[in-house]
Structure 1
Amino acid sequence: MSKQRQQQRAKKRRQQQGQSATGSPATVAAVPVRSTEDAVPVPAGTRPDFRRILRSSSFRWSISLLLFGLFFLLLSQTIPHDYGFMELGFLFTLSVYDIVLAMLGLAVACAMAPRAADMRNIVLVFFCVLAGMLMFFDPIFQAIFASPLGDYLFLIAPGAVMLTGASLWLSGVWRQRAVMLAAGVVAFSMSLFIGLDDLGIGIFDFTVGTVLCSLWLVVAPALPLRRFRGPWLTIPSRIVGSWLVVIGIIVLASLYVPLPMKAPALPDPTMPDGGTPMELQIPDDGSAPTLNGEELPLDLLAPDDGTGIEDQSSQ
């Protein structure tokens, strides 16, 4: 009897273990059965919820930063006023068209960064290179100008534009590394424009305006665009990258096109003296006049009939 009881207890234990593994009938019946459509996950980022994004507070703050800069530019160009150095620095940054396009390319790269830390790293590299160059511009520029790189400084701006465009074609870790390198080159190129335009006098307000405008061009478009990030941004970013590469090539080619030289007009042989321009100068001290630098005798100015000029005081 003891063996039968042991066998019965062992059989009950096996049954209890099987029920706990598969779940009781009541538990299985309580789990709702999902349909086939609910079971298939929707790929993330392919269909962003625009209504939810537009209503979010983060999107409103980011778009407000972008609109504030545009509103400032509108007021600056429409209202007559005396320009301050900070405002002139802000507007000067926008006049460097190729570097502005490169900064907008960096903004697209920041929007596509997979993590917020990656975006902060791009902006931090850009700011550190720009601020460091402007703080110690004179000694750094003298060292660069004395080096072999000084003969090729004109290649930095188009190279920065092409590097930014090429980085948008990459993906994964390589894109992050290439974008950080492009951010440093773009900041270095922009610092050359700012430092050389400042005429060496180091106006602090002018420099602050240029730095603020540069950061605004990189960060302000990236923040609202980042709310819509996803795989669908890959093709538009590569289109923007292609445009930047082409623009960089055009800028680079324009540096080697010879400028038209304004030569003086050729003399007309049908005119007296072969069309050579004649310059007559009559001094106020009564000395002999000169024609093309040659002194003329005074007797040539006397009339041919010898009557002379009547004295107006006698009339």
Structure 2
Amino acid sequence: MTVARWSGPALVVAGVGILIILILRDPADRGVIAGWIVSDAAAPARLLPLIGLAAASALVPASFALAGLAVFSAGVLLGSLELALLLATLGALPGAESHLFFTFPISSVAAGLVLLAPSAIRQWLLPLAALIAGAVLAVATKITDPTLHDPAIFVTGVVVAVWTLVAVGLTVRGFRRPWFSIPARILGSWLVAIGVLFGGAALLARPPLPELPPAQPTEALPVPPPEDAFPDLAPPRRDPLDLGADGLREP
């Protein structure tokens, strides 16, 4: 019983330790996979919904928690196989491409609703939320793959997600108390609020105005040469001090 209780914290410490080592390494020496783990796979936006889902799995019977983990894996597989369909569906939302196709708000709301649900309903909502979270995780992993084709990136993203679910779930289950439902609902309300605010702000954001092309310098109009100028029709002006040939001032 003691081993099972401390297996979760051991996984948490191991995962956090590996992440700290990767963060402290020189970015030039991390490599593609390690750099992607730091910037995407272990980013707060990726881990926060998984932590909420793991906490929810710890508040249901163990059989439902195992079923949720299996359904999550099935959701990952479904998301990878139907990636084009999911991208086309989510891409219809305004601003989807610039917000990772809303994978973060979708998974946050799904995990938050499970935490907010009453105990009698939570165990039945967990598989549905796990399916959604697994599918959007596959989408987020695929579209952030820096190599675009290396299967090691996808496998690494799935391993990080499953590690998070198992480590947090075992930790909460091992130290579970009757009053855990109170912080669980608080966490669920935060996840729902964050997801709704993030998604709503992205949906209501005005699209950027198109950039106007740079103004082309206008050529100055050519100045006509003197011979093409309009003739001066005014009478010639005389100098008032000019005297004529007879020494008299001409009128």
1:133 correspondence with 2:79: yes
Q: Is the 8 A contact 1:126 1:187 kept in 2?
A: yes
Deviation of the 1:198 alpha carbon: 2.6
Q: Is the 8 A contact 2:79 2:86 kept in 1?
A: no
- State the distance in 2 between where 1:156 and 1:60 align: 32
Residues 81-160 of structure 1 aligned to structure 2 (within 5 Å)? 82-91=29-38, 92-95=40-43, 97-114=44-61, 116-134=62-80, 136=81, 140-145=82-87, 150-152=91-93, 154-155=101-102, 157-160=104-107
- State the distance in 1 between where 2:90 and 2:17 align: 40
Deviation of the 1:156 alpha carbon: 5.2
Structure 1 counterpart of 2:52, one-letter code: G
Aligned to 2:205: 257
Q: Is the 8 A contact 1:102 1:160 kept in 2?
A: yes
Aligned to 1:16: none
Q: Relative contact order (C-alpha < 8 Å, sep 6+): which is higher?
A: 2
TM-score, length basis structure 1? 0.59
| 1:216 pairs with one of 136, 149, 163 | 163
Quickly say closer, same or farther: Cα 1:85–1:127, change in 2 above 3 A: farther
Percent identity of the aligned residues?
25
Quickly say closer, same or farther: Cα 1:144–1:207, change in 2 above 3 A: closer
Cα deviation digits, residues 16-45 of structure 1 (max 9, x gap): xxxxxxxxxxxxxxxxxxxxxxxxxxxxxx
- State the distance in 2 between where 1:145 and 1:216 align: 26
- State the distance in 1 between where 2:70 and 2:165 align: 11
Cα deviation digits, residues 159-202 of structure 1 (max 9, x gap): 33112111112234421121211111111112111112236842
Cα deviation digits, residues 237-270 of structure 1 (max 9, x gap): 0000110111011111221222665978xxxxxx
Q: Is the 8 A contact 2:77 2:135 kept in 1?
A: no
Quickly say closer, same or farther: Cα 1:145–1:162, change in 2 above 3 A: closer
Aligned to 1:63: 9
Structure with greater Cα Rg: 1
Structure 2 counterpart of 1:233, one-letter code: F
- State the distance in 2 between where 1:246 and 1:141 align: 27
Deviation of the 1:141 alpha carbon: 2.7
- State the distance in 2 between where 1:212 and 1:155 align: 22
Aligned to 2:174: 227
Deviation of the 1:67 alpha carbon: 0.4
TM-score, length basis structure 2? 0.72
Structure 1 counterpart of 2:59, one-letter code: M
Quickly say closer, same or farther: Cα 1:89–1:129, change in 2 above 3 A: farther
Quickly say closer, same or farther: Cα 1:102–1:84, change in 2 above 3 A: same
- State the distance in 1 between where 2:57 and 2:42 align: 20
- State the distance in 2 between where 1:143 and 1:57 align: 44
Q: Is the 8 A contact 2:114 2:122 kept in 1?
A: yes
- State the distance in 2 between where 1:143 and 1:263 align: 32
- SS across alignment from 1:202: coil
Q: Which stretch of structure 1 is more off in the superposition, 125-134 or 77-86? A: 77-86
Structure 1 counterpart of 2:9, one-letter code: I
- SS across alignment from 2:118: coil
- State the distance in 2 between where 1:109 and 1:117 align: 13
Q: Is the 8 A contact 1:167 1:182 kept in 2?
A: yes
Quickly say closer, same or farther: Cα 1:133–1:162, change in 2 above 3 A: closer
| 1:77 pairs with one of 20, 23, 26 | 23
Cα deviation digits, residues 108-166 of structure 1 (max 9, x gap): 1122122x2221111111122113433x3xxx2333455x6651464554233112111
Q: Is the 8 A contact 2:102 2:199 kept in 1?
A: yes
Runs of at least 5 residues in structure 2 that lack an aligned partner in the other structure: 223-251
Runs of at least 5 residues in structure 1 that lack an aligned partner in the other structure: 1-52, 265-275, 280-291, 298-315
| 2:143 pairs with one of 196, 211, 219 | 196
Deviation of the 1:73 alpha carbon: 0.9
Q: Is the 8 A contact 1:106 1:164 kept in 2?
A: yes
